[in-house]
Structure 1
Amino acid sequence: YLQRFDNCGNYYSLEIDNKNLLEFMKDYFEIVKKEKVKRYHLNKETFTLIDHSSFNEYLFSKNGNEIYNYFDVYNLSTKSESPNIYYSYNQSLKIVKLTYLIENEIEKLDKLNLFKRDLSKCIDN
């Protein structure tokens, strides 16, 4: 299942059948469980932050084993004038590859208008 959330609340869960995404999770579950995206660092001593950044949060369940992983999306970026020394490292992580697979799946489901907002949990209600 995949559930989408945004700044207004959440959507109903959707059952997904994307074989690439499901196989990826099956193959890399143990790795994704342990990986951590490193903060955006200009050098070993200096890191940078951004206000109002987006975060990706994941909760996975497999055979009763649950894992939680999260990271600031800003940490996946880099800039020519202030490069992130961990950019390549972060991009090589399986959790980041999974993020791109999930984003593609969300985009596909969005185009099909399959996401339905759960209005009972909307912040604006």
Structure 2
Amino acid sequence: MKKIFFFLALITTSIGFAQNDEAFVNSLVAQKMAELEMQENPEYFLRKDYCDGNIQMFVMPDGKNCSSKSTYYAVYVFWKEGEDIMKIQKFDNCGSFMSFSISISKNIKKALKEKQALKTENVKPYKGEKVDNSAFENMSVQSCHKEYKFIFDGKVFEKSFKEFDLTNNSKYKNVNSDHNKSLMLIKLDEEISEMIKNFDESGKFFREK
């Protein structure tokens, strides 16, 4: 009798709990991209954020629980609505969020005009001034990544980098730090990161039901 009760409890728990992987997130984003293509939107891009092994759990609007499976992925899709307005929509392992309009800042507008720089410039990997096995002994290094996909006038290109490549916190200076931070991609990324941080703190992201 106890075994039957445990089995029924397990089924009930499973029904109210969801786990989704990167493929699930990619499918949501692909649907959004297809929608933008149908609208013949000439300019849009996305950023995918994730840290290897980082798992997050959420209580959904319907009261059910949802968590990432293995790694949590957050994707932000941006598309232009006008000269000074763009929209943003967030997607993650637990579904999609409501889109909303934002003003295009001068820094973002400037970066998006530098399409050739965004396409050709590349982030260089972390490289210390000296080789020393103890250079990172006091550091807690988490493998966090950012991936970009740009679609400008039907042309697609992608960029990716590790957040660690931008840091300068080890025992020896990262010789590629100044180069990386001078890139148009990183200037755009810093602006977007600050914007997303403010949206998170102000509760701007609402899940779709």
Range class of TM-score, shorter chain = 0.7 to 0.9
Larger strand proportion, structure 1 or 2? 2
Alpha-carbon spacing, 1:45–1:80, altered in 2? closer, same or farther (3 Å): closer
Q: Which runs of 4+ in 1 moved over 4 A?
A: 1-7, 43-46, 48-51
How far apart are residue 45 of structure 1 and its match?
8.0
- How do 1:1-125 residues align onto structure 2 when only pairs under 5 Å count? 5=49, 7-9=71-73, 10=92, 11-12=96-97, 14=99, 15-43=101-129, 52-79=142-169, 81-117=171-207
Gaps of 5+ in 2: 1-43, 51-70, 74-91
Task: Please tell me the residue identity of whatever aligns with 1:112.
Answer: S
Measured in 2, the distance between the counterparts of 1:65 and 1:13 equals 27
Q: TM-score, normalised by structure 2?
A: 0.47
Which of structures 1 and 2 has the bigger CA Rg? 2
Identity %: 24
Number of residue pairs aligned between Structure 1 and Structure 2 = 118
Q: Judge conservation of contact 2:47–2:146 (CA < 8 Å) in 1.
A: no
> Highest relative contact order (Cα 8 Å, sep 6+), 1 or 2?
1
How far apart are residue 114 of structure 1 and its match?
2.2
Measured in 1, the distance between the counterparts of 2:202 and 2:183 equals 29
Tell me the secondary structure at the aligned position of residue 106 of structure 1: helix
Q: Judge conservation of contact 2:47–2:147 (CA < 8 Å) in 1.
A: no
Gaps of 5+ in 1: 120-125
Q: Judge conservation of contact 2:49–2:146 (CA < 8 Å) in 1.
A: no
Task: Please tell me the residue identity of whatever aligns with 1:17.
Answer: S
